[in-house]
Amino acid sequence: MTLSRRPLGSQPRLQRRSEKAAESLTLRKLEELALAYLNRFDCTTQKLKQHLRGRARKLGGGSEVDSWITQIIERYQASGMLDDARFAKNFASQLASRGKSARAISQKLAVRGVPSDLAGELMAARKQDEPGAELEAAIAYVRKRRLGPHRSAEKREEYRHKDLASLARQGFSFDIAKKALGSGPSTDDEF
């Protein structure tokens, strides 16, 4: 006698999946999926397109799905619900407050699907509007990782080169790293 693990009356997984696939994908259903995604996440045009294509593939969409996705995205861009510039600005300020360098922010924006020209304009404007933003981000990273002045006094000198290397790996320049770690020995130039 074998015991069944599923409760009585429940359908097998394959049968439930085939029933879901049987309902056809419509423009309305695709729009509901887009709205549900945008209610949860602020995203770029590319990310929403990618998400909707993936969902359409799972639900068995036809040949008209690409035109529906384009139509939905154009409408959301026109209404302001989907704005790559807003997303990039908010995401860049979030990353900077976490201690990310301008180089790391540019890379993360590219990964998230922000067009390179938009990311370049944002970073140039950010550098012009906030000349000390890179130093502030480096200081935030130093504080978060307990480097330099946030380390015990007896270990500061011993770990200075390692702290500089850590900041360099995060994309901060040598001058910014030295300023973020505070005054130290004059042997930093040998590093």
Let me know if residue 71 belongs to a domain. Answer: yes
**Residue 159 banded pLDDT, cuts 50, 70, 90:** confident
Let me know if residue 12 belongs to a domain. Answer: no
Q: Collapse the DSSP code of 118 into the 3-class scheme (helix H, G, I; strand E, B; otherwise coil) and give the result.
A: helix
Do 69 and 89 lie in a common domain? Answer: no
Do 32 and 73 lie in a common domain? Answer: yes
**Residue 118 banded pLDDT, cuts 50, 70, 90:** very high
pLDDT digits (tens, 9 = 90+) for 18-45: 555 446 788 899 999 999 999 999 999 9
Let me know if residue 189 belongs to a domain. Answer: no
22-26, 30-34, 82-86, 139-143: least confidently modelled range? 22-26
Total length of the chain: 191
Do 32 and 68 lie in a common domain? Answer: yes
Q: Which position has the higher pLDDT, 121 or 7?
A: 121
Let me know if residue 8 belongs to a domain. Answer: no
Let me know if residue 119 belongs to a domain. Answer: yes
- How far is the C-alpha of 59 from the C-alpha of 28, rounded, in Å? 13
- Which of 128, 143, 131 shows the shortest CA–CA distance to 180? 143
Give the domain extent around 164.
Answer: 133-182
What is the total count of domains within the chain? Answer: 3
Helices (H), ranges, the chain: 13-22, 27-40, 45-59, 65-79, 84-97, 102-111, 116-129, 133-145, 153-156, 160-169, 174-181
Q: What is the mean pLDDT of the chain?
A: 84
